[in-house]
Structure 1
Amino acid sequence: MRLLFWLVVIITSITPAIASTLAQQTQRIISLSPHTTEMAYAAGLGDKLIAASAYSDYPPAAQQLERVANYRGLKMERILALKPDLILAWQGGNPSRELARLQQLGIKIIYSNPKTLADIPKTLAQLSQYADSPQPALQAAAAFKHQLQQLKQANHNKPKVRYFYQLGSAPLMTVADKGWPSQIFRFCGGENIFANSRAAYPLINQEQVVVRQPQVIFSPQPITTTQQLWAPWQHQLIAVKQHHIYQLNANWLNRPTPRTLLAIKQVCTLLDQVRDDH
């Protein structure tokens, strides 16, 4: 939090002339991931976005943007033809070789790879430099911190709940404790049964889940799909026996943006339900 405080101090102490120059120089922005698109709008940069990646669907205005990236890579020729002043990229999610090429051609790139909840307001503060007015971004950062602190107090010292987060079923996957969504569960008192896995996204089998006996199973998939997968284990698995299988909003959970607060509220509420049943 102290780092964010000093970052805001530095940004807000930039002379109006310098801030105005940065904003004036940045009129054409391309976002290469759904979460950076959301962050751009939250920082007051929506009117400067000219293109975005596939699945950039929030806020609704983002759905009108041209698509120049997807899971297969970047549309390099089109990106260059659009002549962006700034590119917002997902470090680790967008192809590094193509991004390096864009940088070599003189295009400024801001990389986003939030690893903690505190990185969300930091990113908002960073993006505020490129907005015509930095206030919307700084206000959004302050609001996020305030609400996060309130949620922290509300969920402080609650009993731990063992959880399993199911990413897919064919193959069956999960996330270790260092993956992005894990801090959301941990914030609410969740205890990842695969926390110490060496792989960030380990491939597992159902027997491994049963041995670890989670009290609750979360998944972004439809709840009926998850229930069908675990139905054969209803007598061996406490989460299934007590009907503690829940579907989470994938966009809230997986995108590190201000809407992460909604994911925290959802997860904390569901973990409270599990606690009440024990």
Structure 2
Amino acid sequence: MYTRAITPLTLLALFLSSQIFATPLSPHVAQRVITLSPHATELAFSAGLGDKLVGVSQASDYPPEAKDIEQVANYQGIKLERILVLQPDLVIAWKKNANSRELDQLEKFGIPIYYSSIESLDDIPSNLRQLSLWAEDSSVGKNNATKFESILTQLRSQYQNQAKIRYFYQLSQKPMMSVTDPNWPTDIFQICGGENVLTNTKVAYPQVGIEQVIALQPEVIFNSHLATNNDATWQNWPQIPAVKHNFIWSVNPDWLSRPTMRSLKAIKQVCGYFDKARKK
């Protein structure tokens, strides 16, 4: 477990030794940046902050340079003491991060925290432009944001009049879970003309039974990296159109699950699969 008990005296000593803490959410040129999720690491590089990173989350593996940066967080928690020792003047965290108590402590010590909140594809360039305000050269993030928007507009125009394809996205196998609109990454499927068969489900990430999938009759089934070895299981249910036509596909999990510049790659991959289904 990354997060462990830390005494008030230790916290005070670490705080007093720091000379660079700034007012939270007041953009300035950041010199020491820490990211607490893989997508935040990618966004930092795209925003021109890559050379300022002193700490990242364990799963940060893109771009390749991220693998050489000290890891200060994983899915279990964050190394609170180590982060304080590293004296960041900016921490980039996921808005839905489960370590809210530790993040609250960082904020109390005056460490600026940028909460990346991405629900749709349009939020990605918005995040890049905001993060670029912390970079020495803001044009890097702004140019990447403009590039992303340009390609996204092109893809939307290309697929806006395509025939709709009803899909089921299997997020995990045991238990079988999925995701409903408008939660990430459903926006990627929508761009390509995908219609989520779970549109009437209010739970963001519902648990789904095989009987329910059979009743919903999806034309395409997508698997995630957590459910890529169960194609044979689906073959037991040929009454599902996606199974009958063998339209069961896997999308690169990092492209699909991380809202970054590489989401454009996910769109092109998903759209390519939908095009195959339309031809059939």
Aligned twin of 1:275: 278
Deviation by residue 1:47-97 (Cα, 9 ceiling, x = unmatched):
000010011100000011111111111111111111111000001124111
Aligned-residue offset at 1:226:
2.9
Match of 2:47 in 1: 43
CA contact (8 A) 2:172 2:226 kept: no
How far is 1:223 from its partner? 8.0
Alpha-carbon distance in 2 for matches of 1:127, 1:228: 44
Q: CA deviation at 1:157?
A: 1.2
Shift in alpha-carbon separation, 1:177–1:128, aligned structure 2, 3 A: same
CA distance in 2, matches of 1:41, 1:224: 29
TM-score, normalised to structure 1's length?
A: 0.89
Aligned structure 1 segments of 4 or more residues deviating by more than 3 angstroms: 221-224
User: What SS is found at the alignment partner of 1:107?
Assistant: coil
Unaligned stretches of 5+ residues in structure 1: 1-20
Q: Which residue type is aligned with residue 117 of structure 2?
A: N
Deviations 1:203-253 (A, max 9, x none): 01101000000001001238861311212112x111111010001011101
Aligned counterpart for 1:231 among listed residues 230, 235, 239: 235
Where is the helix percentage greater, Structure 1 or Structure 2? 1
Q: Does 1:167 align with 2:159?
A: no
Taking only the aligned residue pairs, the percentage that are identical comes to 48
CA displacement 1:134-188 (0-9 Å, x = unmatched): 1111110110011111111111211110000001111000001121110110111
Counterpart of 1:32 in structure 2 is 36
1:62 aligned residue = 66
CA distance, structure 2, for counterparts of residue 79 and residue 162 of structure 1 = 45
- Kindly provide the amino acid, as one letter, of the partner of residue 104 in structure 1: K
Contact 1:32 1:94 in 2 (8 A): no
Q: RMSD over aligned Cα, in angstroms?
A: 1.3
Give the whole-Å Cα distance in 2 for the aligned partners of 1:94 and 1:122: 23
1:131 to 2:151 alignment: no
Distance, in Å, in 2 between the alignment partners of 1:244 and 1:104 is 51
Tell me, in whole angstroms, the C-alpha distance in 1 between the residues paired with 2:34 and 2:157: 38
Pairing 1:216–2:189 present: no
Task: Tell me if 1:111 matches 2:142.
Answer: no
Between the aligned partners of 2:129 and 2:156, the Cα distance in structure 1 is 22
Task: Measure the CA separation in 1 of the matches of 2:28 and 2:195.
Answer: 44
Quick one: which of 19, 22, 25 aligns to 2:28?
22
2:92 counterpart residue number? 88
CA contact (8 A) 2:125 2:148 kept: yes
- 1:152 maps to 156
